[in-house]
Structures are given as C-alpha cells and as structure tokens.
Amino acid sequence: MDDAQLVAALRRGEETAFAALVDRWSPAMLRIARTHVATWSAAEDTVQDTWLAVIGGLDGFEGRSSLRTWVFTILVNRARTRGTRDRRTVPWSSLSDGDDPREAGSWVDAARFRGADDPYPDHWTPSGKPVPWAETPEGSALSREAMSVLESALAALPERQQTVVRLRDVHDLTSAEVCELLDISAENQRVLLHRGRSRLRAVLEDLYRSESA
C-alpha cells in the first residue's frame, strides 16, 4: 500500500496494517531512539510511546511528508525529551549499557524468517512448515557464518558508524532521512557510512580469503 492507502487503513483501525507497520519500522526506531537515550529499555519505552502517539495523532496527519518521516519525527522528538529528562535525574555514567538482549548472542537463525521475495518479508515462516534449502548445506553454513561474523563486526563498530550503517543498509532509510533523524550533515553521514562499510568489507574479505585458502 502507498501512504494514502496505509493511512486510510490505519484510520479504519485495521489491526493487520498497524501490526505490519510496527514489525517493519520498530527495529529502526529502536536504533534511532537509542542515540538519544541512555539505555535500551528507555529506547523501547520511547518506541512504545511513539506508536501510541501515532495512533492518537493519525487524524492530524496531513501528508506533507511521508508517513515514515512523520512517525520517525515523532520518535526523535520524544527520544530527545526522554534523554534530556533522564540526564537531569540519573547520571549517565551510572547506567549500564549492557541491557540489550541482542548483545548476548541469542540471535535467531535467519532461515526461520521469510525472504525478501515473500509477500510477508522478514515475518516468521509458518509454524510446522519446513524451510527448504535454497543452497547446499555447505553453502548455507558458510552464509550463516558470514552473517554471524558480519553482525559481530557491525556490533563492534563505533556507535555512530553502527547506527548509520544499520539505518541505511539494514532498515533501508535514505540518506536524507538519516541526516534529518540523527541531525547530522550529509557529509558527516557519508563519512560515517563509508567508514562503517569499509570496516565490514574488510572483515568479509578476511573471512572469504581464509575460506578460499
């Protein structure tokens, strides 16, 4: 659906449309919120508050920007407010940065999700339905190893580089959207993206070089 159709569906209260939107945009929203608040739990609260605000403010959406830009702008405003409030009440140095469950290595096998060519990309595969091999077991094992290495390398990037790379290459935001949402210049965005991608490429080159050897 285009923006007009999606907004109409949301205003009609279609739960499937809203659920699909939440599934698709929340990971990027969480990453953006985390650049403004002290902890992942605070970022999760901010994302939840944003979706509640979106529901309550749909009638006021005039379509002057894309729906995604409108939603993400609400997110940034709330995240900045939350970050300012938290800094006034709790020292950032006293807050743990290790509360992201994704950093504990408990990643789900990518084969359990539908592919990009599926009508519902990135959704879980149907319960009980076998996942067909798209390649040989050896190739699949290497692909999973590469993704694991790549994710580890991505997580090891400096925070600003990691955020820009995730938003551009994982969540498919445009350069203009990233600049606006993170309040950075186009040149700064390009530098961060280039440096992050270069590090990831070097890691993959080392991996495949060792496999070839």
CATH number of 3-94: 1.10.1740.10
In angstroms, the Cα distances linking 28 to 14, 104, 123, 132, 207 are: 23, 19, 16, 29, 28
Q: Kindly report, as residue ranges, where domains of CATH 1.10.10.10 are found in the chain.
A: 134-213
Residue 2 contacts by C-beta under 8 Å, 6 or more apart in sequence? Answer: none
What pLDDT does 116 receive?
59
What pLDDT does 62 receive?
86
In the predicted model, residues of the chain with pLDDT beneath 50 are 91-109, 112, 127-138, 140-141
What pLDDT does 185 receive?
92
What pLDDT does 142 receive?
54
Place of tokens 């076998």: 130
Query: Measured in whole angstroms, how far is the alpha carbon of residue 72 from the centre of its chain?
Result: 12
What pLDDT does 114 receive?
58
Q: What residues does 124 pair with on adjacent strands?
A: 113
How far is the C-alpha of 118 from the C-alpha of 188, rounded, in Å? 35
Q: What share of the chain is helix, strand, coil (3-state, %, to 5)?
A: 70, 0, 30
Q: Kindly report, as residue ranges, where domains of CATH 1.10.1740.10 are found in the chain.
A: 3-94
Determine whether domain 134-213 maps to CATH 1.10.10.10: yes
